[in-house]
Structure formats: C-alpha cells, structure tokens
Amino acid sequence: MWTHKVVHVTLSGAMMGGAEEWQTGFYVGHPDADAAVPNQLFTDAVRDAWTTFFQHADVGISNWYSFTQVKAARLTEAGKYDGTDVPVSTPAAAVYGARGGNVFPPQIALVATLIAGSGKGLAGKGRMYLPGINEPIDATGHLTAVYTQKVATQLAAFFNTINASFDIPGEVINASKGRQKLLGIGARNVPVNGVRVGNVYDTQRRRRNGFSESYTNAVVAD
C-alpha cells in the first residue's frame, strides 16, 4: 500500500511507422498528502515539456520514434485507478525525435535512475526507460560520459519544468509501497532530487503493434 494517492503519468508513442509501441512514465504527488486529481491543463503541460525533451538534439532520440500521447491517472493507496477523470493529451501532430541515421533494435533503451532523498532505502531510487536513444557506443560497448551528462541534464530540466508548473499540483516523486509484510517498514513518497544516467544500454520488452516477422530456411545435409 502507498501512503497517499499518487498520479501516474504515462508517456507513449510509436516507432518504425507504428509497427511497435513504446511507453514510459513517472509519478507526481506529495510526501504527506494525496495527489490532486489531474486535469487537462496537467496533461497539456506535461505534453509540452516532454516534447521539448523528446526533440532536444542533446538527447538524440531517433526520428524513427514518435511521441503521441500523455495520460495522467490518479491511483489509490492500493495502486488501483480511483475512478476520477483520466485526462489525455496529444500533440497536434506526432512529435518525432531529432536524430537521423540507422536506429538500434526497438528493445534497446537507455535507463535513467531517479534519485530521491539520499538515494538509499525505500523510494530512494526509481527507473525510467528512455525510448529511441540513437547514440553510438564505443569499441568497449559504452556511451561517452559527455553524452550521458547531456541526457541527465535535459531530463532534470524536464522534471524541473514539471515541478515549476502551476498546472501540475505536486512534484515528481518516487512512490514506494513499503515492506509492511516483511519488515514492518511503512510506505513513503519522496520527491525526486536527482537524475543518474549510466553509460550502458539496457533492454526493455516492447509491445508489437503490427510488427510481423518472417523466416528464411537453409538445409542441413544428412
């Protein structure tokens, strides 16, 4: 159980002409009170801030990827939709990444760690998968520190915009349900105060939307 109601913000879009879909998100709320019910102004403000991040040249999201929707839903302490309105915001036209060239397979994603408080204990760390990153790796399989710093800076700027918006009550948080059954430790919401981006790509399952797979065969002699 969470300690208070929170808002789950879901960002989504498509890739490769709609053959696959991507989705990521984060939480908004308060450390010591229920989150307000989100409205259209809320999702419109997130839409505009994410558009800036998604298209920023420093981030390097592939132009094969598009951003198409923001959804904000308030969840109960049990993690269920609470029955209030779930506003959705879409750009006037699909928003595409700014990076050209060949793209990595759709299962490749860059993970950002959302640091809250000291970064230790319950709600100290959250994860956000960043879709469509199209930055080359070096001969050792790593991204450069210069590049990952740029991504971290732009993602922090995105969260700062969310926190500063009059249309978005609350702030970006990590929400932990605690470990009451095991350790008696209570749930908590902790404001995010930092972003950490590693220099190794991760993998994430994607939802196929119309991505068909064909096979070729070869004969093995007896």
pLDDT 10s digits, 108-138: 889 999 999 777 667 678 899 999 999 999 9
Mean of the per-residue pLDDT values of the chain: 88
Q: Average of pLDDT values for 172-187?
A: 70
**Which of these, 90, 49, 44, lies nearest to 67 by C-alpha position?**
90
Has residue 181 been placed in a domain?
yes
Residue 212 in domain: no
Within a domain: residue 114? yes
220 in any annotated domain: no
**Strands 20-29 vs 171-176: parallel, antiparallel or unpaired:** antiparallel
Q: How much of the chain exceeds pLDDT 70, in percent?
A: 88
Considering the entire predicted model, what is its pTM?
A: 0.89
Give the domain range for residue 130. 6-204
More confident residue, 208 or 196: 196
Tokens describing residue 191? 């404001």
Instruction: Measure Cα distances from 103 to 57, 79, 212 in Å.
Output: 15, 35, 18
Higher pLDDT, 53 or 185: 53
Quick: pLDDT tens for 36-86: 999 999 999 999 999 999 999 999 999 999 999 999 999 988 888 899 999
Higher pLDDT, 207 or 51: 51
pLDDT at 184 over 50: no
Q: What are phi and psi of 192, to 5 degrees?
A: -75, 130
Helix (H/G/I), strand (E/B), else coil: 16: helix
Domain membership of residue 219 (yes or no) is no
Q: Which amino acid is at 26?
A: F
Total count of domains within the chain: 1
Question: Is residue 47 assigned to a domain?
Answer: yes
Average pLDDT over residues 28-34: 94
Whole-angstrom CA distances from 197 to 34, 90, 122, 127, 174 are 30, 27, 20, 10, 16
Residue 115 lies in a domain: yes
In a domain, 56, yes or no: yes
Average the pLDDT over each of 14-18, 115-119, 203-207 and give the range with the smallest value: 203-207
